[in-house]
Amino acid sequence: MTSQQKNSRILVFNSVFVAILLCFTSVWVNAQHRTTFEFTETADAALRRTMQNNVNAVFESIHDSFFSDRTGLSISQNHATPEAIEQIQALWSTSRFYCKIPDVNKRVLRSANGYQVRNIPVFFEQGETEEEQNQDIAIEFTPQGRIRDLFIAIPMHQYLQILETQDTVTDLRRRQLILGFVDNFRTAYNRKDIGYLKQVFSEDALIIVGNGKKLDRSSDGLPNYEYVVQDKATYITRLQGVFNNNRYINVKFSEIEVLQPYRNRNLYCVTLRQEWNSSNYSDVGWLFLMIDFRDENKPLIWVRAWDHDGVPRDERISPGDFNPQ
């Protein structure tokens, strides 16, 4: 064997060795970031196994994509509905994410339309602070155990506290629907889902945002603060511009209250504290929502009104400012 042949064989051997090493390194890195889900209670054992298998498969895809530095995310319809896949991919496209812990053991909760598992810790790639990047998600399942939704969730203690204030079985179901709606509403901003937001606002919705034309709320209102009254089309158009001009959007809801103050038992009001953080702008304020649940499969927002964080509680926009027929 000539020295040239020997050097050539050594070069080939080294190339193969490096390729094998890279392959094993990739497998080892991905294995280090696997998450195993185990669910307890409520659903029967066979259904829980189905839920676990579906979530494990979806998060295996999520982790493979995240730690292989891929921008795309492929999820099989065997594990999630087409709608859920679209929503997960939309959230992923605005900020890639993965589950932070290796073992997730959670109790299964009954929801209005199936089952739910809440408060799964997730790390989002986009965000200026640790709090923005570290959030909890909830996963909604069909009655058969397939994933039907994934969204950023309010804390478990607040979720249970709101449910405990129900006074009838119907009211309990509605409150479950409302909390799911509020979680999805928040997540829609994070995933820049303009299509979803178009659907949830009534065509005649009253939308009040900060800055601009003054709204004369009362004789002792806030003379130094201005509000803009918008129709749905204007709000959606401007919101699309906000989505286009921000690399990421991170909306957080807290201090949520659910009220049923009107004679029309299909109307619920939600007040909450909203923290808006994006790549270009941040603010904190109080959000008031009036939601029509006549069609539980298609709730509609009649009123969406924002108040500055400095407004005293008794001067914030509230159900008493409106008289729905």
DSSP per residue over 43-89, as a string?
S-HHHHHHHHHHHHHHHHHHHHHHHTT-S-----TTTB-HHHHHHHH
Q: Which residue has the tokens 């570290």?
A: 134
pLDDT at 262: 92
Q: Does residue 132 surpass a pLDDT of 60?
A: yes
Q: Does residue 181 surpass a pLDDT of 80?
A: yes
Percentage of the chain with pLDDT > 90? 66
Could you say which DSSP state residue 34 is in? -
Segment 269-278 mean pLDDT = 94
- Residue 78: burial class (beta carbons within 10 Å; 0-12, 13-18, 19+): exposed
Segment 70-81 mean pLDDT = 95
Highest mean pLDDT among 1-5, 7-11, 129-133, 216-220: 129-133
pLDDT at 9: 52
Q: Does residue 215 surpass a pLDDT of 50?
A: no
Q: Does residue 21 surpass a pLDDT of 70?
A: no
pLDDT at 305: 96
Q: Does residue 113 surpass a pLDDT of 50?
A: yes
Residue that wins the pLDDT comparison between 146 and 312: 146
CATH 3.10.450.50-classified regions of the chain? 186-321
Segment 155-183 mean pLDDT = 83
Confidence of residue 171 (pLDDT cuts 50, 70, 90): confident
pLDDT at 281: 87
CATH, domain 186-321, list 3.10.450.50, 2.40.160.20, 3.30.365.10, 3.40.1110.10: 3.10.450.50
**pTM check: above 0.85:** no
Strand 201-210 and strand 300-308: pairing? parallel
- Residue 157: burial class (beta carbons within 10 Å; 0-12, 13-18, 19+): exposed
For the ranges 114-128, 212-226, 294-308, the lowest mean pLDDT is seen at 212-226
Assigned fold of 33-153: Nuclear Transport Factor 2; Chain: A, (3.10.450)
User: How much is the mean pLDDT over the chain?
Assistant: 86
Spacing of C-alpha 237 from chain mean position: 22
